[in-house]
Structure 1
């Protein structure tokens, strides 16, 4: 057994990037486009008496998703499934109830890649080529296998396709519970078609809906957000407010020792909305667009914010960046939009950091 003094495990570092800029009238920001697995969205609206219907509907309308029980991975390379849902529209699929640091897990991103994050023992029996985990390449305990389901050559009868299907069917017999949402390419197509496909294959399918919370708070001291403010303290305030909606003190610190940002301004009424479940990037884009339109038309509002939290156990966080819960688990971002047309974002990269071990 190693002596405890030999190894020094450093606490994980929090890593955030902050960006400022001008709100663009069209197109979703890249921060939304590259974050695929969104678990919760919260919105803060200072100086707002009634929540605009456009914002509330963007959070709750047409946000159903589905849970497929005991799904076998080889179904995801079925050619009919790929042609109908992977190559058309945008499919987002994620294994749930799996721990990224110790279990096998998988995901499909809208670009059409099937990502398998596997323990060493599972990978060694699978028979497909992958790469060692980014977090431990010297003595890897995990491997990542990425399959491009949209490649033209990935089709039945081709050698590579048949090998992949055979390896998944014969060597990866672990059933996964997954959540799935499909954004069809045309409005006339129903998003529930993907659930019907799995149901017709004999799988148990459950309809899931987002959990919605709405709080109104009165006489709240909110931070002044301008070019010279302490952005870190403003984002910290948002995090505290989301937990403690009764945060109203304008003193430097409250009884818990929390230090308030300065300066503050009194807001007569603040609305807080939160939805938790499974959101695709298209869903998030619609929420962002509704908030952007609101702040543009409401000059009396000092600012508004949107915070998005990712799944702590997804195989990836941003784009193809591998995700690790041990270092932090946080893969989130926050927008603050101002009526002068400017924005501030904070993006968490904590889960992409390697753990630091010193001898």
Structure 2
């Protein structure tokens, strides 16, 4: 049997890397954290740390709650009370839950008030509003994107654009989906106008900690540069987070992965993961905390933090379209060094827009 041409090659990916310092007022860390709106996981690796320090635990436990609404009719995101109490105030984050961007209708609501619908062809034609073909159609015009700024004056309740979209979602397409929703800083109070009408549950981000001993790791800095190329370093970080051994023993047939050279061994390290609908504001506070911790003399000279966007979100960087056919990479990784130097790596897959 002849192998498909699609399987003959590794999916293309894009990695954008930069080195700078937090002391540079023009550093891009804060802006990049804000650009990835819809995050589902943050992973940290803290060398020479056996358990989560109390102050770190406090930061993680202060992450914002999020809400899961069952079978939300999407036209309810146009409800006037919800618009006034949450969307017009800014910083609402929402994404359809357990929908697949390459097969299902997917929805996102971004903090600037943009509603993004990624629709299959039939649903788009039934909806009957203006849109455009997806940039990532792997078949001719099989998927369409409808993107609406709910804060624009033409989308004010009662206006022509508003009524057309509302009628399409309420009477023609009648799109429903489980939906994750959060808001900063209003939280549940500002979302109550919407939550009170549906079956919903409140959730806290899930925190897991794992202590590693005798961890083989790259000798991170050599002459102020990474000791290995960014791809190898990120692959090693991913292997650590996925519990993949880099020992490559002769008796193991599960993995041939080895730690990049030159390498060193740390006696202990802490691997921490947080999962949920994670807000950029909370991630920014976490970065600030890790920066402060690196100034303490008893800790190792570096720490890493990796943030993953939702694989099946219709948007990735900013309000740019996100697409998945193979892979769906959608993350950034920050390596922080004790002298305030940082290395920022942003990764996307074959069906995604280049990071800003």
TM over 0.5: yes
Would you say how many aligned residue pairs link Structure 1 and Structure 2?
Answer: 343
In the alignment, which residue of structure 2 is the partner of 1:197? 193
| Residue aligned with 1:197, SS | helix
Gaps of 5+ in 2: none
Residue pair 1:44, 1:271 contacting (<8 A) in 2 also: yes
TM-score (structure 1 length as normaliser): 0.87
Could you give the per-residue CA deviations for residues 160-183 of structure 1, whole angstroms, max 9, x where no partner exists?
222222222112212111000110
Q: Which runs of 5+ in 1 are unaligned?
A: 355-359
Q: State the partner residue of 1:222.
A: 217
Instruction: Give a deviation string over 1:52-87, Cα, whole Å, max 9, x none.
Output: 333222223243110011111111112221121112
Task: Give the Cα separation in 1 of the matches to 2:132 and 2:84.
Answer: 27
Q: Output one character per residue of 1:133-167: Cα deviation in whole Å (capped at 9) or x when no partner.
A: 00129821010001101113322232222222222
Equivalences for residues 199-348 of structure 1 within 5 A: 199-200=195-196, 202-226=197-221, 227-230=225-228, 231-244=230-243, 249=247, 255=252, 256-298=255-297, 300-348=299-347
Change (3 A) 1:179 1:25: farther
| Aligned 8 A contact 2:119 2:143 in 1 | yes
Kept in 1: contact 2:324–2:351 (CA 8 A): no
Q: Output the CA distance in 1 between the equivalents of 2:131 and 2:244.
A: 46
Judge which range, 23-32 or 314-323, deviates more: 23-32
What's 1:81 paired with? 82
Preserved contact between residue 311 and residue 331 of structure 1 (Cα < 8 Å): yes
Q: Does structure 2 retain, via aligned residues, the 8 Å contact 1:64–1:208? A: yes
Look up the match of 1:357: none
| Alignment partners' CA distance in 1, 2:257 and 2:45 | 20
3-state DSSP class of the match of 1:267?
strand
The residue number in structure 2 matching 1:113 is 114
Counterparts of 1:137 and 1:235 in 2: how far apart (Å)? 28
Aligned ranges 1:177-192 → 2 under 5 Å: 177-184=178-185, 189=186, 191-192=187-188
Asked whether the 8 Å contact 1:252–1:260 carries over to 2, the reply is no
Quick check: 1:60 aligned with 2:61? yes
Q: Is the 8 A contact 1:37 1:278 kept in 2?
A: yes
Q: TM-score, normalised by structure 2?
A: 0.88
Which residue is 2:97 aligned to? 96
Distance 2:125 2:182 in 1: 31
Matches within 5 A, 1:125-164: 125-136=126-137, 139-164=140-165
User: 2:216 touches 2:263 (CA, 8 Å); kept in 1?
Assistant: yes
Residues in 2 aligned to 1:121 and 1:326: alpha-carbon distance in whole angstroms: 20
1:233-266 per-residue CA deviation (whole Å, 9 max, x = no partner) reads 222211111122765x5x9999542222222233
